[in-house]
Amino acid sequence: MHKNIFIGEICANDEVQKDHFLMKMYLPRTFGAVLPGQFVMVRIAGLTDPFLSRPLSIYSFSLEQNACVLELLYRVVGKGTQILAGLIEGSQLEVLGPLGTGYAMPDTEKNIVFIAGGIGVAPLSLLAEHLCVNSPSCGPNMIFYLGAQSSRQILGLDKLQSLCYAVHVCTDDGSFGKQGLVTDLIRKDIKKYPPGDTIIYACGPKAMLKTLNTILGGKYRCDVSLEERMACGVGACMGCAVAVKEGSGGAAYARVCCDGPVFGLNQIIWD
C-alpha cells in the first residue's frame, strides 16, 4: 500500500499560552506509528493561500481503537499558523506524514539531558514520553532544561514534570524559574554531566543550538532537531538545505525533511 495524504479531523484546538495553541486531531489508523522527532506537513484542503504546507513536529501521539490521535503544539508566527489557530472543532486538515528521522535512542548513558528553547519543547516532550513508556529505566535519568521568553511562553511543563527526574526552567525576563537563557544554565551545569555518560537532545532557535555547539565543544553525543523552510517535506525539492560535514571531511547540503530533522549536533556546519 502507498502512503497518502491523510485527512485529520480536529477535535480540540486551544490557546494554551498567549499565541501558543495545542491542536488535537483524529487520523486514520493507517497513519501508522510515530518516532519522536518526526513531523507532519499540514494544510487546509483547497486553499491556495497560504500556498505551501506547514511543517509541525508531533507533540504527542496515541492509538485509539479506530484512530490515531495526534497532538501538535504550535506558535502563531505568521499567516499559516494564524489560520490554523482559527480552526474549530470538526474542521479538517490534510496531513502528510509521519515524516523525517527520529532521535537516536540512548545507549547506556546515565544522564539524559533535554534542552528546549520555546516551541522546541514539542518534539522533545514526545521523546521524553516515549522513553518513559518504552524504557522505564530512563525516567530517573532524565533532566529537562526548558527555556522561554517569559512565564507566558512556558509550554507543557506539567507533563514534563511528571516524566522527568528534574525540570529546570528559565526565562529571558526572569518571570518564571531562573533568569537567563537556557544556554546560560547549561553552561553552568554541563560539568555535572560527563561526556561519556551523557546523551543530550536539543531543539530550539538556531542561535540557541549554535551556542550549545560551542558549549559542548564536540565532546558530547547530542541530537538536535532543525527547522528550515520546506516545500515538499519528502526530500524531492531540495528546498530545506542545511550544511553538514561529509564523511570525507568536506561539506554538503543535507535535507532537513528526510535526512533530518534530527541531526547529530557535531554533523552540522554553523556559518
Ligand X SMILES: Cc1cc2nc3c(=O)[nH]c(=O)nc-3n(C[C@H](O)[C@H](O)[C@H](O)COP(=O)(O)O)c2cc1C
Using the contact rule CB under 8 A, the part of the chain among 24-32, 65-73, 128-136, 236-244 near other proteins is: 236-244
Determine if residue 267 is left, alpha or beta; phi over 0 gives left, psi from -120 to 50 gives alpha, anything else beta: alpha
Q: Which of 76, 87, 132, 252 binds other proteins (CB under 8 A)?
A: 252
Q: Which of 33, 45, 49, 250 binds a copy of itself (CB under 8 A)?
A: 49
- Interaction of residue 215 with other proteins, rule CB under 8 A: no
Q: Give which of ligand X, ligand FES, other proteins, none residue 253 binds (C-beta under 5 to 8 Å, depending on kind).
A: other proteins
At residue 101's C-alpha, the angle toward residues 259 and 271, to 5°, is 45
Cα–Cα distance list, 43 to 8, 53, 178 (Å): 10, 5, 38
- Interaction of residue 74 with other proteins, rule CB under 8 A: no
- Interaction of residue 261 with ligand FAD, rule CB under 6 A: yes
Q: Is 48 helix (H, G, I), strand (E, B) or coil?
A: coil
Angstrom distance (rounded) from CA 135 to CA 128: 10
3-state helix, strand, coil in the chain (%, to 5): 25, 35, 40
Angstrom distance (rounded) from CA 7 to CA 101: 22
Query: What does R_g of the chain's alpha carbons equal in angstroms?
Result: 18
- Interaction of residue 229 with ligand X, rule CB under 6 A: no
Tell me the closest approach of the beta carbon of residue 140 to ligand FAD, in angstroms.
27
Angstrom distance (rounded) from CA 239 to CA 84: 23
Q: Give which of ligand FES, a copy of itself, ligand FAD, none residue 237 binds (C-beta under 5 to 8 Å, depending on kind).
A: ligand FES
Tell me the closest approach of the beta carbon of residue 266 to ligand X, in angstroms.
29
- Interaction of residue 237 with ligand X, rule CB under 6 A: yes
Q: Which of 50, 180, 235, 264 binds ligand FES (CB under 6 A)?
A: 235
Q: Omega of the bond prior to 123 within 30 degrees of 0, cis?
A: no
- Interaction of residue 47 with a copy of itself, rule CB under 8 A: yes
Total residues at the site for ligand FAD (CB under 6 A)? Answer: 21
Cell numbers for 52: 505551501
Site for a copy of itself, rule CB under 8 A: 47-49
Site for ligand FAD, rule CB under 6 A: 39, 50, 54-57, 73-75, 77-81, 119, 122, 227-230, 261
Site for ligand X, rule CB under 6 A: 237, 239
